[in-house]
């Protein structure tokens, strides 16, 4: 079983990475393979609603989005991490997730459906809960079970060293990792027992309220 941890920060080894690395180390202890994927520093453009992904089965812009989506099918769970600047995830990660999940929903087999996921945010002080709400909505839309911890998944600090002093935040990361491992093991046991995935309705119903 494998989990992919997405570092959505422009700082490769910053506060967000520090939190994700605690999760990675704990997953290793649980015999769950974990990799960290960094979206990089280069600007990532947002979705332009061209709908070409319905034909191409990938985003029309061939950048980190398609690179990541091509990898996603190999993994059983995902944790997306973001710094908080203005009470939400940072702009590059938002553009990245918009395009990843919009284009991936056109693919079969679906690379994310029914795979456990979680959000992790890092902030100097505040804005974390609204950022968590924002990221979690992607998982709700894609039928991804959301993994919880014993508190909201956040760490505080202005530098990696300060994050490592946030003992409560570090514990939250460890608990989250163990809960992710537990959920993956439950899914594996269900597969072994022949428990089928939920039945999918063939066509998605979309209701527009303006006639």
Instruction: Note whether 20 and 119 are within 8 A (CB).
Output: no
pLDDT in tens, 133-185: 999 999 999 999 999 999 999 999 999 999 999 999 999 999 999 999 999 99
Q: How far apart are CA 41 and CA 209, in angstroms?
A: 40
Whole-Å CA distances, 167 to 10, 60, 127, 153, 161: 24, 43, 19, 13, 12
What's the full length of the chain, in residues?
211
Q: What percent of the chain has a predicted confidence (pLDDT) above 70?
A: 100
pLDDT-derived band at 204, boundaries 50, 70, 90: confident
- For 140, phi then psi, to 5°, come to -60, -40
* Homologous superfamily of domain range 2-192: Flavodoxin domain (3.40.50.360)
Q: What is the pTM of this model?
A: 0.95
**pLDDT at position 211, please?**
67
| Of the candidates 105, 20, 92, 91, the residue with the CA atom closest to the CA atom of residue 63 | 92
Would you list the domain boundaries of the chain? 2-192
**pLDDT at position 189, please?**
96
Q: How far apart are CA 30 and CA 183, in angstroms?
A: 12
Q: What percent of the chain has a predicted confidence (pLDDT) above 90?
A: 89
Instruction: Note whether 20 and 27 are within 8 A (CB).
Output: no
Dmax over CA atoms of the chain, in Å, equals 56
């Amino acid at each position: 079983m494998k989990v992919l941890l997405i570092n959505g920060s422009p700082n490769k080894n910053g506060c967000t990475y520090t939190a994700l690395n605690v999760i990675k180390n704990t997953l290793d202890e649980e015999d769950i393979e974990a990799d960290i994927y960094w979206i990089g520093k280069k600007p990532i453009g947002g979705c332009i609603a061209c709908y070409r992904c319905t034909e191409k089965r990938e985003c029309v812009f061939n950048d980190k989005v398609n690179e990541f989506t091509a990898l996603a099918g190999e993994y059983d769970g995902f944790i997306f991490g973001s710094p908080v600047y203005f009470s939400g995830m940072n702009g590059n990660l938002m553009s990245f997730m918009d395009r990843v999940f919009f284009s991936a929903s056109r693919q079969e087999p679906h690379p994310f459906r029914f795979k456990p996921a979680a959000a992790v945010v890092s902030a100097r002080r505040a804005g974390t809960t609204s950022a968590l709400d924002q990221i979690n909505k992607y998982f709700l839309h894609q039928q991804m079970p959301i993994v919880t911890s014993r508190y909201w998944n956040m760490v505080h600090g202005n530098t990696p060293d300060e994050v490592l002093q946030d003992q409560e935040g570090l514990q939250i990361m460890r608990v989250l990792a163990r809960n992710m491992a537990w959920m993956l093991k439950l899914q594996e046991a269900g597969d072994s027992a022949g428990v089928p995935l939920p039945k999918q309705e063939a066509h998605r119903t979309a209701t527009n309220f303006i006639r």
